[in-house]
Amino acid sequence: MGLTFLSIQGLSVSYGGKADVLRDVSLDVQRGEVIGLIGPSGSGKSTILRTLVGLLKPRSGTVTLDGQVVDYTSRASLRGARDRFAIVFQQYNLFQNMTALRNVAIAPTLVKKRAKADVEAEARALLARVGLAEKVNAYPDELSGGQQQRVAIARALALKPDILLLDEVTAALDPELVGEVLDTIRALQRDGMTMLIVSHEMAFIREVASRVAFLDQGLIVETGPPAEVFDQPRSPRLKEFTSRILRH
Protein backbone atom coordinates (compact mmCIF):
# COMPACT_ATOMS: atom_id res chain seq x y z
CA MET A 1 0.00 0.00 0.00
CA GLY A 2 1.51 3.27 -1.09
CA LEU A 3 1.88 6.06 1.36
CA THR A 4 1.54 9.24 -0.67
CA PHE A 5 5.09 10.37 -1.38
CA LEU A 6 4.38 14.00 -2.20
CA SER A 7 1.13 15.58 -1.21
CA ILE A 8 0.17 19.10 -2.19
CA GLN A 9 -2.97 20.32 -0.42
CA GLY A 10 -4.80 23.58 -1.11
CA LEU A 11 -1.73 25.38 -2.39
CA SER A 12 -2.25 29.05 -3.27
CA VAL A 13 0.52 31.31 -4.51
CA SER A 14 0.46 34.99 -5.38
CA TYR A 15 3.22 37.42 -6.07
CA GLY A 16 3.56 41.12 -6.57
CA GLY A 17 0.26 41.76 -4.83
CA LYS A 18 -1.62 40.42 -7.82
CA ALA A 19 -4.36 37.82 -7.96
CA ASP A 20 -3.35 34.27 -7.12
CA VAL A 21 -1.35 32.51 -9.82
CA LEU A 22 -2.20 29.23 -8.12
CA ARG A 23 -5.54 28.73 -6.45
CA ASP A 24 -6.20 25.92 -4.05
CA VAL A 25 -4.16 23.36 -5.97
CA SER A 26 -4.10 19.80 -4.61
CA LEU A 27 -2.11 16.94 -6.05
CA ASP A 28 -0.93 13.60 -4.69
CA VAL A 29 2.11 11.88 -6.16
CA GLN A 30 3.16 8.30 -5.44
CA ARG A 31 6.75 7.14 -5.55
CA GLY A 32 7.83 6.32 -9.10
CA GLU A 33 4.98 8.23 -10.68
CA VAL A 34 5.48 10.60 -13.56
CA ILE A 35 3.02 13.49 -13.48
CA GLY A 36 2.51 15.57 -16.59
CA LEU A 37 1.41 19.13 -15.95
CA ILE A 38 -0.26 20.65 -18.98
CA GLY A 39 -2.26 23.77 -19.72
CA PRO A 40 -2.09 27.07 -21.52
CA SER A 41 0.73 29.55 -20.86
CA GLY A 42 0.30 31.38 -17.58
CA SER A 43 -1.91 28.70 -16.11
CA GLY A 44 0.47 28.17 -13.18
CA LYS A 45 2.21 24.92 -14.18
CA SER A 46 5.71 26.26 -13.66
CA THR A 47 4.60 28.07 -10.52
CA ILE A 48 3.90 24.71 -8.86
CA LEU A 49 7.46 23.54 -9.50
CA ARG A 50 9.04 26.83 -8.46
CA THR A 51 6.99 26.86 -5.27
CA LEU A 52 8.03 23.31 -4.39
CA VAL A 53 11.72 24.30 -4.42
CA GLY A 54 11.02 27.50 -2.51
CA LEU A 55 11.73 30.01 -5.25
CA LEU A 56 8.21 31.33 -4.64
CA LYS A 57 6.51 31.46 -1.27
CA PRO A 58 3.09 29.82 -0.92
CA ARG A 59 0.37 32.04 0.53
CA SER A 60 -1.51 29.09 1.92
CA GLY A 61 -1.69 25.33 1.66
CA THR A 62 0.60 22.51 2.72
CA VAL A 63 3.22 20.44 1.00
CA THR A 64 3.93 17.08 2.62
CA LEU A 65 6.98 15.20 1.48
CA ASP A 66 7.42 11.61 2.59
CA GLY A 67 5.14 12.20 5.57
CA GLN A 68 6.80 15.45 6.65
CA VAL A 69 5.18 18.85 6.22
CA VAL A 70 7.50 21.35 4.54
CA ASP A 71 7.52 24.71 6.30
CA TYR A 72 8.56 27.21 3.65
CA THR A 73 9.10 29.94 6.21
CA SER A 74 11.73 27.91 8.02
CA ARG A 75 15.22 27.87 6.56
CA ALA A 76 15.98 24.41 7.93
CA SER A 77 12.79 22.88 6.62
CA LEU A 78 13.30 24.51 3.23
CA ARG A 79 16.85 23.18 3.08
CA GLY A 80 15.51 19.73 3.80
CA ALA A 81 12.98 19.98 0.99
CA ARG A 82 15.57 21.32 -1.47
CA ASP A 83 17.73 18.34 -0.61
CA ARG A 84 15.08 16.06 -2.04
CA PHE A 85 13.86 18.02 -5.04
CA ALA A 86 15.93 18.87 -8.06
CA ILE A 87 14.66 21.24 -10.70
CA VAL A 88 15.66 21.62 -14.35
CA PHE A 89 14.78 24.96 -15.90
CA GLN A 90 13.57 25.91 -19.35
CA GLN A 91 16.67 28.05 -19.92
CA TYR A 92 19.06 25.38 -18.49
CA ASN A 93 20.56 27.95 -16.06
CA LEU A 94 23.97 26.29 -16.15
CA PHE A 95 26.63 28.24 -14.28
CA GLN A 96 28.38 30.13 -17.06
CA ASN A 97 31.70 30.30 -15.26
CA MET A 98 32.10 26.54 -14.93
CA THR A 99 32.74 23.58 -17.20
CA ALA A 100 30.07 20.92 -17.69
CA LEU A 101 31.85 18.68 -15.18
CA ARG A 102 32.09 21.42 -12.56
CA ASN A 103 28.44 22.33 -13.09
CA VAL A 104 27.46 18.77 -12.28
CA ALA A 105 29.91 18.30 -9.42
CA ILE A 106 29.71 21.61 -7.60
CA ALA A 107 26.57 21.17 -5.51
CA PRO A 108 27.44 17.68 -4.18
CA THR A 109 30.96 18.81 -3.20
CA LEU A 110 30.17 22.32 -1.99
CA VAL A 111 26.71 21.89 -0.49
CA LYS A 112 26.64 18.22 0.47
CA LYS A 113 30.35 18.18 1.41
CA ARG A 114 31.07 14.91 -0.35
CA ALA A 115 34.58 13.89 -1.41
CA LYS A 116 35.60 15.59 -4.62
CA ALA A 117 37.08 12.50 -6.26
CA ASP A 118 33.90 10.44 -5.72
CA VAL A 119 31.66 13.21 -6.93
CA GLU A 120 33.71 13.84 -10.06
CA ALA A 121 33.70 10.16 -10.96
CA GLU A 122 29.93 10.18 -10.56
CA ALA A 123 29.61 13.38 -12.54
CA ARG A 124 31.59 11.87 -15.42
CA ALA A 125 29.34 8.81 -15.34
CA LEU A 126 26.24 11.01 -15.36
CA LEU A 127 27.50 13.06 -18.27
CA ALA A 128 28.26 9.83 -20.12
CA ARG A 129 24.74 8.66 -19.33
CA VAL A 130 23.25 11.73 -21.03
CA GLY A 131 25.62 11.18 -23.95
CA LEU A 132 28.11 13.94 -23.18
CA ALA A 133 31.23 12.04 -22.09
CA GLU A 134 33.18 14.03 -24.65
CA LYS A 135 32.05 17.39 -23.34
CA VAL A 136 33.08 17.29 -19.68
CA ASN A 137 35.50 20.20 -20.09
CA ALA A 138 33.27 22.35 -22.29
CA TYR A 139 31.82 25.60 -20.98
CA PRO A 140 28.06 26.17 -21.37
CA ASP A 141 28.47 28.69 -24.19
CA GLU A 142 30.44 26.09 -26.15
CA LEU A 143 27.49 23.68 -26.07
CA SER A 144 24.29 23.57 -28.08
CA GLY A 145 20.98 24.14 -26.31
CA GLY A 146 20.22 20.43 -26.27
CA GLN A 147 23.63 19.62 -24.84
CA GLN A 148 23.28 22.31 -22.20
CA GLN A 149 19.91 20.95 -21.20
CA ARG A 150 21.35 17.45 -20.88
CA VAL A 151 24.13 18.82 -18.66
CA ALA A 152 21.42 20.50 -16.59
CA ILE A 153 19.64 17.15 -16.21
CA ALA A 154 22.91 15.49 -15.21
CA ARG A 155 23.45 18.30 -12.70
CA ALA A 156 20.01 17.67 -11.22
CA LEU A 157 20.63 13.91 -11.04
CA ALA A 158 23.96 14.44 -9.27
CA LEU A 159 21.93 15.74 -6.33
CA LYS A 160 20.31 12.29 -6.07
CA PRO A 161 16.86 13.79 -5.82
CA ASP A 162 13.79 11.87 -4.73
CA ILE A 163 11.70 13.93 -7.11
CA LEU A 164 12.84 15.52 -10.33
CA LEU A 165 11.03 18.65 -11.48
CA LEU A 166 11.26 19.43 -15.19
CA ASP A 167 10.09 22.91 -16.14
CA GLU A 168 9.43 23.10 -19.88
CA VAL A 169 12.86 21.67 -20.50
CA THR A 170 12.45 21.45 -24.27
CA ALA A 171 10.61 24.74 -24.81
CA ALA A 172 13.76 26.75 -25.56
CA LEU A 173 15.33 24.15 -27.85
CA ASP A 174 15.50 23.96 -31.63
CA PRO A 175 13.12 21.25 -32.84
CA GLU A 176 15.91 18.92 -33.93
CA LEU A 177 17.43 19.02 -30.44
CA VAL A 178 14.23 18.17 -28.59
CA GLY A 179 14.56 14.45 -29.28
CA GLU A 180 17.86 13.98 -27.46
CA VAL A 181 16.49 15.59 -24.30
CA LEU A 182 13.26 13.60 -24.42
CA ASP A 183 15.26 10.37 -24.81
CA THR A 184 17.14 11.24 -21.64
CA ILE A 185 13.86 11.73 -19.77
CA ARG A 186 12.41 8.49 -21.13
CA ALA A 187 15.42 6.63 -19.73
CA LEU A 188 14.79 8.21 -16.32
CA GLN A 189 11.18 7.14 -16.40
CA ARG A 190 12.25 3.54 -17.11
CA ASP A 191 14.57 3.73 -14.09
CA GLY A 192 11.58 4.62 -11.91
CA MET A 193 12.43 8.26 -11.19
CA THR A 194 9.54 10.22 -9.68
CA MET A 195 9.01 13.24 -11.89
CA LEU A 196 6.77 16.26 -12.29
CA ILE A 197 6.99 17.36 -15.89
CA VAL A 198 5.70 20.67 -17.20
CA SER A 199 5.65 20.46 -20.97
CA HIS A 200 3.95 21.47 -24.16
CA GLU A 201 5.12 18.25 -25.85
CA MET A 202 1.73 16.56 -25.62
CA ALA A 203 2.71 13.37 -27.45
CA PHE A 204 5.63 12.98 -25.06
CA ILE A 205 3.52 13.59 -21.95
CA ARG A 206 1.03 11.06 -23.19
CA GLU A 207 3.82 8.53 -23.58
CA VAL A 208 5.75 8.94 -20.31
CA ALA A 209 3.21 10.27 -17.81
CA SER A 210 1.35 7.94 -15.51
CA ARG A 211 -1.06 10.77 -14.72
CA VAL A 212 -1.78 14.13 -16.26
CA ALA A 213 -3.05 17.26 -14.54
CA PHE A 214 -4.60 20.01 -16.63
CA LEU A 215 -4.31 23.52 -15.24
CA ASP A 216 -6.13 26.62 -16.26
CA GLN A 217 -5.94 30.04 -14.60
CA GLY A 218 -4.23 28.66 -11.53
CA LEU A 219 -6.66 25.81 -10.97
CA ILE A 220 -6.24 22.10 -11.54
CA VAL A 221 -9.26 21.51 -13.75
CA GLU A 222 -8.86 17.83 -14.41
CA THR A 223 -6.53 14.96 -13.50
CA GLY A 224 -6.38 11.42 -14.78
CA PRO A 225 -4.45 8.90 -16.82
CA PRO A 226 -3.18 10.36 -20.11
CA ALA A 227 -5.63 8.37 -22.25
CA GLU A 228 -8.55 9.74 -20.27
CA VAL A 229 -7.39 13.34 -20.19
CA PHE A 230 -6.42 13.52 -23.83
CA ASP A 231 -9.20 11.35 -25.34
CA GLN A 232 -12.17 11.88 -23.06
CA PRO A 233 -11.86 15.37 -21.63
CA ARG A 234 -14.81 16.17 -19.37
CA SER A 235 -14.51 19.88 -18.77
CA PRO A 236 -15.23 22.31 -21.61
CA ARG A 237 -11.95 24.11 -20.97
CA LEU A 238 -9.89 20.95 -21.44
CA LYS A 239 -11.95 19.99 -24.50
CA GLU A 240 -11.10 23.32 -26.03
CA PHE A 241 -7.43 22.94 -25.10
CA THR A 242 -7.02 19.44 -26.51
CA SER A 243 -8.92 20.26 -29.68
CA ARG A 244 -6.64 23.23 -30.27
CA ILE A 245 -3.56 21.07 -29.74
CA LEU A 246 -4.80 18.34 -32.03
CA ARG A 247 -5.35 20.86 -34.75
CA HIS A 248 -1.61 21.65 -34.69
| Site for another protein, rule CB under 8 A | 53-55, 79, 82-83, 85-87, 89, 91, 93-97, 99, 101-102, 106-107, 110-111, 136-137, 139, 159
* CB of 27 or CB of 151, closer to another protein: 151
* Minimum distance from residue 230 beta carbon to another protein (Å): 31
* CB of 95 or CB of 174, closer to another protein: 95
* CB of 110 or CB of 245, closer to another protein: 110
* Minimum distance from residue 233 beta carbon to another protein (Å): 33
In the chain, what's the furthest Cα-to-Cα distance?
A: 55
* CB of 146 or CB of 226, closer to another protein: 146
Which of 223, 234, 213 lies closest to 44, judged by CA?
A: 213
* Minimum distance from residue 126 beta carbon to another protein (Å): 15
* Minimum distance from residue 84 beta carbon to another protein (Å): 10
Residue partners of 127: CB distance under 8 A and separation at least 6: 100, 101, 104, 133, 135, 136, 151, 154
* Minimum distance from residue 161 beta carbon to another protein (Å): 10
What does the chain come to in residues?
248
Judge residue 36's burial from the number of C-beta atoms within 10 Å of its C-beta, 0-12 exposed, 13-18 middle, 19 or more buried.
Answer: buried
**Can you say whether the dihedral through the CA atoms of 13, 155, 89, 3 is positive or negative?**
negative
The strand pair at 163-167 and 22-29 is best described as: unpaired
Report angle CA 36, 66, 63 to the nearest 5 degrees: 65
* CB of 54 or CB of 61, closer to another protein: 54
